[in-house]
């Protein structure tokens, strides 16, 4: 079940909200737990058992880690829990990728495993790992009620596509959270904005990206249309989902942390990753980079730590070489900036450092979307006309005219400009009408359209 579906918008969500606000406070977490499992079961009826098993394992090891705190047993139990959780993730997400490369590089004929990727396994695995590590470090109180822990892990607003909500963020909110009309209204507003990002921008640009990838007529203009559209599509798809998750959280009394902060206004790659997918980058910083020694070590080990983190970041996104290349690409760029380029970027005019960042990020998403190395190189080369392709073509002119308005809205929407406009007194009066209008338009698109997947479901 996706948020941008009629089933969710007009059946599941209204029913859950109605029951949630009718029942007494002591039953609200139970309502969320049951509805979250129903939500997951709707899309993954088989793997709901895997989710339940993972929660039970996390609960048991959390109790054991806390019981033997500051002893060697606590460390052993943490290690075992990590091995089991990461082992399940590797098996379901990376087993066939590993087999494929063993067969390729070692000339073996190992059969592939007939297993599908459980939706959201990367997200809920990382949430459970952060909980266990925080309990081990004494930064979180162990949750002795398995139903409350299960509710935290399976909470449907962020279960299948993030953001990665740490236990410490909502630990106090599990038992004590505020429900006000103002907070609920803010949640509805945020949800509709996220839905609009997804349906009216990401889905529409996704159609252009799909058309490009299936087309044989190429031109420099067409390659640029593809690169810009892909860049905007993935931002509005994922930030739209994060907006919807944060909005839903507020409807149920939770305050999730922000996951995006206008990354396309960044003036360096370092700045970009402070703004993009904040929950993931901060997770790797706190649970991988710092434990490895961070930058408080020798220069060689520091560079090693950075490359390990970005190799894992690429792998987290998918079991394909393009994701690994994508992660290492950013790792190398960040090292270059930290070693010497960063100080020069600070002296450049803002427009130049901004264009530098956008160009490198755009190339990164060409890598991200590439099925193989030859396609990646072809799509990057097409931006500068390699291969003797024409500058423009009738097809590229047609698609520029057809998608120009959406691309322009996407570019403006990726900046804080709309936020500044909506803070005015006039917009506050007109905003409810505008939000209702957006919801109606989104509903029309959902009913009429067929292109509606969330890109981050595969992670």
H or E stretch including 303?
helix 299-317
Cis preceding linkage at 370, omega within 30: no
What is the DSSP secondary-structure string of 306-369? Answer: HHHHHHHHHHHH-SSHHHHHHHHHHHHHHHHIIIIIHHHHTTS-HHHHHHHHHHHHHHHHHHHH
Task: Write out the two tokens for 312.
Answer: 């894992």
33-52 CB burial, b ≥16 within 10 A, e <16: bebbbebbeebbeebbebbe
Nearest-angstrom CA–CA distance, 112 and 334: 36
CB 428: neighbour CB atoms within 10 A?
10
Whether 277 sits among the annotated catalytic residues: the reply is no
Nearest-angstrom CA–CA distance, 220 and 399: 13
Nearest-angstrom CA–CA distance, 283 and 204: 31
Task: Write out the two tokens for 250.
Answer: 């507020």
Residue whose pair of structure tokens reads 């996951």 in the numeric block: 259
SS3 track for 68-125: CCCCHHHHHHHHHHHHHHHHHHHHHHHHHHHHHHHHHHHCCCCCCCCCCCCCCHHHHH
Nearest-angstrom CA–CA distance, 381 and 371: 16
- Give yes or no for a contact between 175 and 137, defined as CB atoms under 8 angstroms apart: no
Nearest-angstrom CA–CA distance, 41 and 426: 44
Given the residues 179, 277, 317, 354, select the one marked as catalytic: 317
Which residues are catalytic, by number?
317
């Amino acid at each position: 079940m996706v948020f941008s579906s009629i089933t969710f918008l007009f059946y599941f969500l209204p029913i859950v909200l109605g029951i949630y606000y009718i029942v007494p406070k002591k039953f609200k977490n139970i309502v969320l737990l049951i509805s979250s499992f129903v939500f997951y079961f709707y899309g993954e009826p088989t793997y709901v058992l895997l989710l339940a098993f993972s929660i039970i394992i996390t609960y048991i090891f959390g109790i054991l880690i806390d019981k033997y705190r500051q002893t060697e047993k606590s460390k052993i139990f943490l290690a075992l829990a990590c091995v089991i959780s990461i082992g399940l993730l590797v098996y379901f997400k990376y087993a066939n990728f590993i087999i494929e490369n063993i067969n390729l590089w070692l000339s073996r004929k190992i059969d592939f495993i007939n297993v599908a990727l459980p939706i959201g396994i990367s997200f809920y695995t990382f949430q459970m790992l952060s909980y266990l590590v925080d309990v081990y470090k004494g930064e979180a109180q162990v949750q002795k009620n398995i139903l409350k822990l299960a509710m935290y892990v399976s909470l449907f607003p962020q279960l299948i596509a993030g953001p990665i909500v740490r236990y410490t963020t909502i630990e106090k909110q599990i038992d004590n959270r505020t429900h006000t009309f103002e907070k609920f209204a803010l949640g509805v507003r945020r949800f509709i904005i996220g839905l609009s990002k997804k349906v009216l921008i990401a889905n529409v640009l996704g159609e252009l990206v799909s058309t490009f990838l299936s087309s044989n007529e190429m031109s420099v203009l067409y390659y640029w249309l593809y690169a810009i559209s892909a860049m905007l599509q993935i931002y509005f798809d994922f930030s739209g989902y994060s907006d919807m998750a944060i909005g839903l959280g507020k409807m149920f009394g939770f305050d999730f942390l922000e996951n995006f902060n206008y990354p396309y206004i960044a003036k360096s790659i370092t700045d970009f990753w402070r703004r993009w997918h904040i929950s993931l980058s901060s997770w790797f910083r706190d649970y991988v980079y710092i434990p490895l020694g961070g930058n408080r070590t020798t220069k060689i080990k520091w560079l090693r730590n950075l490359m390990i983190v970005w190799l894992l970041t690429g792998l987290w996104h998918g079991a394909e070489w393009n994701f690994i290349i994508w992660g290492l690409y950013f790792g190398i760029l960040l090292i270059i900036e930290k070693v010497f380029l960063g100080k020069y970027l600070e002296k450049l005019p803002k427009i130049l450092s901004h264009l530098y960042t956008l160009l490198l990020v755009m190339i990164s998403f060409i890598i991200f979307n590439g099925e193989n190395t030859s396609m990646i190189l072809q799509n990057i080369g097409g931006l500068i006309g390699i291969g003797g392709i024409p500058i423009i073509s009738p097809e590229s002119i047609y698609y520029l005219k057809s998608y120009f308005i959406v691309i322009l809205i996407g570019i403006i929407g990726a900046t804080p400009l709309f936020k500044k406009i909506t803070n005015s007194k006039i917009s506050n009066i007109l905003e409810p009408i505008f939000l209702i209008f957006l919801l109606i338009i989104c509903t029309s698109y959902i009913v009429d359209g067929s292109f509606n997947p969330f890109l981050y479901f595969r992670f």
